[in-house]
């Protein structure tokens, strides 16, 4: 019987004809071979945390199943090889137990490793970049069912295409990451005005390992976060200090405010001002993966754009004016981050130092305004996050990616019959 699948944000759904739990690469290779011979399509899902329909599988859906094993850990060399469906929390725990850690992470750790990679997931960092940047080897099943292993020396074109590959360059079965000795982060969070934050962002990002900020629409207030590497003793946030992450941003208080704003949008500016007023400064030290990530239990929809780093603040300033001019009611803070350039051909951060602007709309509220914001970001040669909502298609995306044509040639080579296609890949990569 057909089983309906829905993503975390309830913005994409599928009714696959067959659902197959992954067991091992050999079983999946046979599955791909059979699908290809029958002219069917096959997609692997992760944890469904993409907001776009990138994971949608209406024919054969592969779930991570048992493809979550740790294959090898070499603490001395700083390498771990894991199967693709491992979730990031488990991965961090395994690394920690070997005295190791991921160099950088995004905001949450519920995604599968392959899923996070395939859409270009990132956090923020002065010297450390996206997830794809940590990958040194991939094992993949290609469109003919063959299993290959690629890295920077062995089929580098496929390696550069498939690290951020939207699931269109093969089924990723295993990933080798360059990792480093376990470290802690000293987090310093503080409120600041929009003008101070935007004027200081360049200096802060030069001075600290990881810098991000949240700007509260309808207010002049930001919450700034600086994270710096340390080997000091852990000093986790105290009960009250934890309020922002545990209650406000993630859970009850913010959820209640958003529901109030949804019922009475006219109150959103007042609610945002009240929220911004209670922001407070806090310092804490904890294991890196516990500082990088936090729970996000309030449902939302999201659009995020990768911009040339030098355009980040000008673009944000323009969007702020647009929001004021249009008098939209926006309850969620805008998240601002930056990373160094990376080398994956389809990564939104490819070949340019990148600043990210992320816009959120509370669950079941209007997000039509994303489109008008997107128009501004396109003027800055913005590239959409593949896992977050956008309206772009392959003809206008191609010029934004210097190695687009090379990546498409690789796609034709490894999946000529488009066994790995879905509507999303047809829209953004072409038929």
Ligand X SMILES: Cc1cc2nc3c(=O)[nH]c(=O)nc-3n(C[C@H](O)[C@H](O)[C@H](O)COP(=O)(O)OP(=O)(O)OC[C@H]3O[C@@H](n4cnc5c(N)ncnc54)[C@H](O)[C@@H]3O)c2cc1C
Piece of the chain touching ligand X by CB under 6 A; list 116-124, 184-192, 227-235, 260-268: 116-124
Q: What's the DSSP call for residue 16?
A: -
Select from 222, 288, 387, 411 the one that contacts ligand X (CB under 6 A): 387
Residue 347 makes contact with ligand X by CB under 6 A: no
Say which residues have a Cβ less than 8 Å from residue 110's Cβ, sequence separation at least 6. 47, 49, 87, 88, 89
The one segment of 144-152, 164-172, 269-277, 372-380 that binds ligand X by CB under 6 A? 164-172
Per CB under 6 A, 48 contacts ligand X: yes
Stretch of 90-98, 167-175, 199-207, 256-264 lying at the interface with ligand X (CB under 6 A): 167-175
- Choice between 179 and 415, CB closer to ligand X: 415
- How many positions of this chain bind ligand X (CB under 6 A)? 33
Measured from the CB of residue 68, what is the shortest distance to ligand X in angstroms? 11
In sequence order, the β-bridge partners of residue 423 are none
For 313, the token pair is 């603040």
Return the residue of 5, 49, 316, 323 that touches ligand X, per CB under 6 A: 49
Of 55, 138, 276, 421, the one binding ligand X (CB under 6 A) is 55
Q: Output the smallest distance, CB 280 to ligand X, in A.
A: 23
Distance CA 344, CA 157 (A): 10
Cβ proximity of 7 and 55 under 8 Å: yes
By C-beta, is 138 or 271 nearer to ligand X? 138
Closer by beta carbon to ligand X, 269 or else 307: 307
Q: Cβ of residue 309: shortest distance to ligand X, in angstroms?
A: 16
Per-position DSSP letters for 196-253, written without gaps between them: HHHHHHHHHHHHSSEEEEEE-TTSSEEEEEEEEEE-SPPB---TTTTHIIIIIISSHH
Say which residues have a Cβ less than 8 Å from residue 193's Cβ, sequence separation at least 6.
220, 221, 222
Among 112, 338, 343, 365, binds ligand X (CB under 6 A): 112
55 or 192: whose CB is closer to ligand X?
Answer: 55
- Asked if 119 interacts with ligand X (CB under 6 A), we say yes
Q: Considering only 31-39, 107-115, 185-193, 396-404, which stretch makes contact with ligand X by CB under 6 A?
A: 107-115
How would you write 59-108 as a 3-class SS string? CEEEECCCCCCEEEEECCCCEEEEECCCEHHHHHHHHHHCCEECCCCCCC
Q: Would you state the structure tokens that stand for residue 248, as one six-digit string?
A: 């406000």
Footprint on residues 168-187 left by ligand X (CB under 6 A): 171-172
Q: How far is 246 from 238, CA to CA, in rounded Å?
A: 11
Nearest C-alpha neighbor of 158 from the set 412, 396, 429: 412
* Closer of 250 and 381 to ligand X (Cβ): 250
- Asked if 54 touches ligand X (CB under 6 A), the answer is yes
Q: Which of 349, 367, 238 is nearest to 299 (CA)?
A: 367
Beta bridge partners of 300: 362
Indicate left, alpha or beta for 120 from its phi (over 0: left) and psi (-120 to 50: alpha): left
Contact (CB, 8 A) for 112 and 47: yes
From the list 73-81, 121-129, 147-155, 220-228, the region that binds ligand X by CB under 6 A is: 121-129
By beta-carbon proximity to ligand X, the closer residue of 184 and 337 is 337
* Binding map of ligand X across residues 288-327, x = CB under 6 A, - = no contact: --------x-------------------------------
Binding ligand X by CB under 6 A: which of 129, 137, 145, 167? 167
Task: Examine residue 355 and tell whether it contacts ligand X (CB under 6 A).
Answer: no
Secondary structure class of 58 (helix, strand, coil): coil
d(CA 106, CA 166): 18
**Considering beta carbons, is residue 257 or 269 the nearer one to ligand X?**
257
Residue 106 lies near ligand X (rule: CB under 6 A): yes
As measured in angstroms, the least distance from the Cβ of 139 to ligand X is: 10
Interface residue with ligand X among 121, 198, 205, 288 (CB under 6 A) is 121
Question: Which C-beta is closer to ligand X: that of 258 or that of 269?
Answer: 258
Q: Smallest distance, Å, CB 400 to ligand X? A: 17
> CB-wise, 177 or 269, nearer to ligand X?
177
What would the 3-class secondary structure string for 313-364 be? Answer: HHHHHHHHHHHHHHCCCCCCCEEEEEECCECCCCCCCECCCEEEEEEEEECC
Query: What's the CA dihedral at 17, 161, 66, 131 to 10 degrees?
Result: -120
Least Cα distance to 1 among 16, 20, 22 occurs for 16
Per CB under 6 A, residues contacting ligand X are 8-9, 43-50, 54-55, 84, 106-108, 111-112, 114-116, 118-119, 121-123, 166-167, 171-172, 296, 385, 387
């Amino acid at each position: 019987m057909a089983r309906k699948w829905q993503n975390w944000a309830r913005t994409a759904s599928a009714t696959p004809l067959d659902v197959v739990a992954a067991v091992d690469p050999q079983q999946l290779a046979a599955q791909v071979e059979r699908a290809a011979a029958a002219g069917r399509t096959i997609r692997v899902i992760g944890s469904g945390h993409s907001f776009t329909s990138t994971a949608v599988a209406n024919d054969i859906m592969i779930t991570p199943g048992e493809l979550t094993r740790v294959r090898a850990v070499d603490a001395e060399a700083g390498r771990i090889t894991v199967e693709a469906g491992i979730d990031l929390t488990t991965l961090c725990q395994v690394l920690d137990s070997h005295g190791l850690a991921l160099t950088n992470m995004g905001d949450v750790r519920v995604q599968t490793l392959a899923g996070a990679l395939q859409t270009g997931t990132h956090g923020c960092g002065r010297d450390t970049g996206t997830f794809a940047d940590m990958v040194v080897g991939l094992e993949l099943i290609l469109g003919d069912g063959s299993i290959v292993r690629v890295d920077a020396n062995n089929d580098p074109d496929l390696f550069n295409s498939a690290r951020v590959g939207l699931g269109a360059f093969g089924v990723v079965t295993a990933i080798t990451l360059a990792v480093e000795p376990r470290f802690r982060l000293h987090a310093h969070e503080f409120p600041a005005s929009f003008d101070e934050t935007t004027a200081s962002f360049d200096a802060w990002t030069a001075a600290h390992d990881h810098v991000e900020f949240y700007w509260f629409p309808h207010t002049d207030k930001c919450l700034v976060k600086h994270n710096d590497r340390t080997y000091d003793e852990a000093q986790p946030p105290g009960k009250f200090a934890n309020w922002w992450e545990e209650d406000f941003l993630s859970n009850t208080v913010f959820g209640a405010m958003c529901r109030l704003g949804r019922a009475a949008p006219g109150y959103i500016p007042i609610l945002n001002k009240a929220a911004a007023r209670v922001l407070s400064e806090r310092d804490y030290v904890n294991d890196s993966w516990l500082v990088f990530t936090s729970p996000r239990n309030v449902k939302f929809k999201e659009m995020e754009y990768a911009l040339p780093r030098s355009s980040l603040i000008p673009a944000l300033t323009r969007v702020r004016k647009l929001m004021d001019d249009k008098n939209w009611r926006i309850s969620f803070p805008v998240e601002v981050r930056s990373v160094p350039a990376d080398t994956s051909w389809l990564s939104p951060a490819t070949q340019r130092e990148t600043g990210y602007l992320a816009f959120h709309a509370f669950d079941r509220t209007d997000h039509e305004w994303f489109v008008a914001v997107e128009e501004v970001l396109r003027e800055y040669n913005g590239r959409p996050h593949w896992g977050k909502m956008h309206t772009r298609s392959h003809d206008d995306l191609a010029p934004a990616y210097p190695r687009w044509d090379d990546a498409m040639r690789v796609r034709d080579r490894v999946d000529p019959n488009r066994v790995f296609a879905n509507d999303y890949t047809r829209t953004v990569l072409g038929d």
